Amino acid sequence: MATSRRLQEWFPWTAAPVVCNGPMLGVVSPALATEVTKAGGIGFLASVFDLSPTSAQLDKLDADLREARTLLGDAAAADSPLRVGVSIITGHSSVSHFEATTLSILAKHRPAAVWLFAPAEDTDPNPHGAIIAAVRRELDGVRIFVQVGNVAAAREAARDGADVLVCQGVDAGGHQFTRGAGVVSLVPEVRAMLAAAAAEEEEFRCRGVAVLAAGGIADEQGVAAALALGAEGVVMGTRFTVAKESVYPDFRKKIVLETVDGGATTFKSTFNDRINNNPLWRPPYDGRAIMTAIHERFLAGASLEDCQRSLKEDYAAEDSAKLIGTWAGTGVGLVKTAQAAGDIVKEVREGAKEQIRRLAASL
């Protein structure tokens, strides 16, 4: 079990075990992120991917960061670090504009963390190293999170300069590595890799790297298990989709709350993006979403084109929207109630500690 207090040293408002919300597009609002922070977790704003000079996403990020500072009561201390993180999906072609368009926004607001994920497979070199170096030059004290799905990606991220590895197992909802492992094997193997590298490489010895577990974690038992695996904290996504501050549409929240047996009722596949011709997610990534009749049709042998035609011709637009795009992990069956984001953090944190006490008492 990990005993490092690095996360609490880096983020002094947090309480152990540290809980973060995933930076989910279409779900996270500034209110959700700041309530996670207020409850002793690390709140992340929704990801951006369009870093072009005319990006509406960057305008919204700027506005969300201003709102977050106000919600946290830090408006009078505009020059102090902001107690939320931001997230950048780095697979979009506009990633080359990062220093010209995005770095100035980060420098102005000084978020506590920057989360990077999903460089395109055909991007050479991986843009993360250059982004991390640029952030380090401009923002003193910011911590870099890199989301990874296998040990090779974790090693590369650590060498690029990541402070925190978000080790996302394949049980996760939303987007992830097509080929990976569950957290039960991923987190310990990443831990072993870091320990071996620390003994061999000066750069690892001089700079500790923290590990978060993600993927399929939806309650206090999952948090306790992640700590036993060697994680120093967790990221939860599906549990926060139904938070009261979530902007996930109500019909999707209803689907999440009614879904059980997530291993059988969710589907991890590139189909979830190809069905609506989403060009952002390319190899080596796919996504897990809740299955519907259109997924069953595909699995029964229908072509992608036939499924696309069916969505347009066989369903009203409102019904068609309900058949695709409800992202959720295999832990969805454990998500039973809609709660305030801060209450979720407190419940799973205190519940995990109680789980660990009970286990220790039984040994």
128 catalytic per annotation: no
Q: How far apart are CA 180 and CA 151, in angstroms?
A: 9
**Cis amide linkage into residue 284, ω under 30° from 0:** yes
Q: How far apart are CA 231 and CA 229, in angstroms?
A: 6
Give yes or no for a contact between 153 and 126, defined as CB atoms under 8 angstroms apart. no
Catalytic residue among 92, 109, 128, 175: 175
Look-up: residue for tokens 């963390």? 113
Q: How far apart are CA 23 and CA 29, in angstroms?
A: 9
Q: How far apart are CA 356 and CA 345, in angstroms?
A: 17
Give yes or no for a contact between 100 and 92, defined as CB atoms under 8 angstroms apart. no
N- to C-terminal Cα distance for the chain?
A: 15
- CA-closest candidate to residue 26, choices 55, 46, 50, 56: 46
Q: Tell how strand 111-117 and strand 210-214 pair up.
A: unpaired
Q: How far apart are CA 336 and CA 296, in angstroms?
A: 25
Q: Burial of 4 by CB count in 10 Å (0-12 exposed, 13-18 middle, 19+ buried)?
A: middle
Q: How far apart are CA 129 and CA 125, in angstroms?
A: 9
Tokens of 47: 């990801």
Give the SS3 label for residue 144: strand
Q: Tell how strand 266-269 and strand 285-290 pair up.
A: antiparallel
Which secondary-structure segment (H or E) carries 319?
Answer: helix 317-322
**Which residues carry out catalysis?**
175
